[in-house]
């Protein structure tokens, strides 16, 4: 009778939806109920004798061992939560209630699968956190880092990246890329054949696993970098269309992605797309407030800020800096002859050419009309500024091929050096501007160094003038 009662009790335990687990002092399973197979994916025979901690999600093992130690010290644990890795690689959330039997030297625990509950809670929290991040992140990079953290709370995301598509440039870039094997790829065209490009092109999520390899579009080429075991990407869709993709990937069988993860990532992707667009708009507005709309060079306000900062640094190291004031010769004739559209193209190209003549640490500004100004940070000798000025003059005197038109212009340049020509912003700009106007009065296509302070003769020995032959007319 006692034997039948024992068998009947086991049958009842096997009918429970929650799992009953018994673990010995060394952490091995010695008994599990039938529900364990539904929850963990392993049969009772596969679990018995197995180390409990080996099934725990790696990041939760330390706190699990601490909780087990407390149970063995006689402290019951109620509703302790951790994550396990199922036999099929899925990560599940378990709520445990456990106690220690001193007489039997066993831990007896009841496990409840709360994965769906945690998933629902995490999704709502994720939406709130994404909305908050869109407002609080300082810039796009900070936003991407926060999104990575948020996604990591929903599913394993050690390898995570954001791909963005610029339709105007037809360029796919990877502004945020965290991967244990590969560095961020270089920007590429949408038809480059990458998996993320296929997600953006199709506007559909893509889940690749060894067990389920969907037929890919013929546009998809070989995998770039190390091939992952599981790859999951979802499109970032906004009112403008697909602007990019979110991607997670796994190189280990310890982390596997499922259709549930795909649904989860899709659920938050729309709000993430909105957050990215919001931050892009904010970044653009801040940028145009400090840059010339036509040439994208720093405007007067930003240039003045950089000049003041450069002066402060240069004064500390007792070095020199230079200002080059540039005015285009005969630019009005270009506008009058060919129209303002050609004139705008010319100004953009002038900005590009000046940029090729200076260092990355220098600053080029457009301060209005056809006037540009260049800040040369830390130069050793005034002659170095003259060398750059001649380089710019020579570059701008070369023909411009714009919209099937061949144009010839030139430039007048004035140079002022700190500290020789002044020790503050206003003095340096005034001296450079004055030298430029003298160069223009002398026929243009030349540069002049401003006279030293106190030199009453504007055409004195401190003037340096260079003139090259130039082509007359606009051709």
Domain ranges of the chain: 2-113, 118-289, 300-467
- Low-confidence stretches of the chain (pLDDT < 50) are 1, 5, 456-475
Given a contact cutoff of 8 angstroms between Cβ atoms, the answer to whether 249 and 104 are in contact is no
- Cα-based angle 247, 252, 258 (whole degrees, multiple of 5): 55
How many Cβ atoms are within 10 Å of 153's Cβ, its own excluded? 12
Given a contact cutoff of 8 angstroms between Cβ atoms, the answer to whether 310 and 377 are in contact is yes
Decide the pairing of beta strands 241-250 and 446-449. Answer: unpaired
Beta partners for residue 173, in sequence order? 164
CATH hierarchy code of domain 118-289: 3.30.450.40
55-73 confidence digits (pLDDT tens): 999 999 999 999 999 999 9
Superfamily of domain 2-113: PAS domain (3.30.450.20)
pLDDT of residue 469: 37
pLDDT of residue 465: 45
Prior bond of 419 cis (ω within 30°): yes
3-class DSSP state of 320: strand
Q: Domain 300-467 falls in which CATH fold? A: Alpha-Beta Plaits (3.30.70)
Q: What element of type H or E holds 193?
A: none
Same fold, 118-289 and 300-467: no
pLDDT of residue 222: 54
Closest CA to 248 of 222, 268, 278, 274: 268
pLDDT of residue 318: 80
**What is each CA distance from 204 to 82, 96, 145, 200, in whole angstroms?**
33, 38, 24, 7
Given a contact cutoff of 8 angstroms between Cβ atoms, the answer to whether 271 and 279 are in contact is no
| Residues 291, 299: Cα–Cα separation, whole Å | 5
Given a contact cutoff of 8 angstroms between Cβ atoms, the answer to whether 354 and 447 are in contact is no
pLDDT of residue 252: 82
- Per residue, the 3-state secondary structure of 404-463, as one string, reads CEEECCEEEEEEEEECCCCCCHHHHHHHHHHHHHHHHHCCCCEEEECCCCCCCCCCCCCC
This prediction's pTM: 0.64
| Residues 420, 430: Cα–Cα separation, whole Å | 13
| Residues 133, 65: Cα–Cα separation, whole Å | 34
| Residues 93, 107: Cα–Cα separation, whole Å | 20
């Amino acid at each position: 009778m006692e034997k039948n009662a024992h068998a009947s009790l086991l049958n009842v335990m096997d009918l429970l939806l929650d799992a009953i687990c018994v673990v010995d002092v060394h952490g091995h399973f010695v008994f599990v109920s039938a529900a364990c197979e539904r929850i963990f994916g392993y049969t009772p025979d596969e679990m018995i004798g197995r180390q409990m901690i080996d099934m725990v999600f790696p990041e939760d093992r330390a706190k699990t061992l601490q909780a087990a130690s407390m149970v063995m010290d006689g402290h019951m644990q109620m509703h302790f939560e951790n994550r396990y890795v199922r036999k099929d690689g899925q990560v599940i959330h378990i709520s445990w209630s456990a106690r220690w039997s001193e007489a039997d030297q066993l831990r007896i625990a009841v496990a409840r699968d709360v994965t769906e509950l945690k998933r629902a809670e995490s999704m709502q929290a994720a939406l709130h956190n994404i909305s908050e991040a869109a407002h609080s992140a300082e810039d796009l990079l900070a936003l991407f880092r926060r999104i990575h953290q948020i996604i990591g709370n929903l599913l394993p995301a050690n390898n995570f990246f954001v791909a963005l598509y610029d339709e105007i440039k037809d360029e796919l870039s990877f502004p945020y890329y965290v991967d244990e094997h590969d560095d961020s790829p270089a920007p590429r065209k949408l038809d480059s054949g990458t998996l993320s490009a296929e997600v953006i092109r199709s506007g559909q999520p893509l889940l690749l696993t060894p067990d389920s390899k969907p037929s890919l579009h013929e546009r998809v080429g070989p995998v770039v970098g190390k091939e992952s075991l599981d790859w999951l990407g979802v499109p970032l869709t906004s009112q403008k269309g697909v602007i990019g993709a979110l991607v997670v990937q796994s190189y280990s069988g310890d982390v596997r992605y499922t259709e549930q993860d795909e649904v989860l990532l899709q659920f938050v992707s729309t709000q993430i797309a909105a957050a990215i667009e919001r931050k892009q708009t904010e970044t653009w507005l801040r940028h145009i407030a400090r840059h010339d709309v036509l040439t994208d060079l720093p405007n007067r306000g930003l240039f003045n800020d950089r000049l003041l900062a450069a002066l402060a640094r240069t004064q500390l190291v007792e070095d020199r800096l230079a200002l080059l004031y540039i005015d285009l010769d005969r630019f009005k004739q270009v506008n009058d002859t060919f129209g303002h559209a050609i004139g705008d193209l010319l100004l953009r190209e002038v900005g590009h050419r000046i940029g090729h003549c200076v260092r990355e640490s220098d600053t080029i500004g457009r301060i209005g009309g056809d006037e540009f100004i260049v800040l040369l940070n830390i130069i050793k000798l005034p002659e170095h500024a003259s060398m750059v000025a001649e380089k710019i003059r020579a570059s701008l005197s070369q023909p411009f091929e714009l919209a099937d038109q061949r144009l010839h212009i030139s430039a007048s340049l004035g140079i002022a050096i700190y500290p020789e020509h002044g020790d503050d912003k206003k003095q340096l700009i005034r001296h450079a501007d004055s030298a430029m106007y003298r160069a223009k009065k002398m026929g243009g296509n030349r540069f002049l160094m401003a006279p030293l302070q106190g030199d009453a003769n504007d055409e004195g020995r401190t003037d340096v003038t260079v003139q090259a032959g130039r082509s007359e007319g606009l051709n």
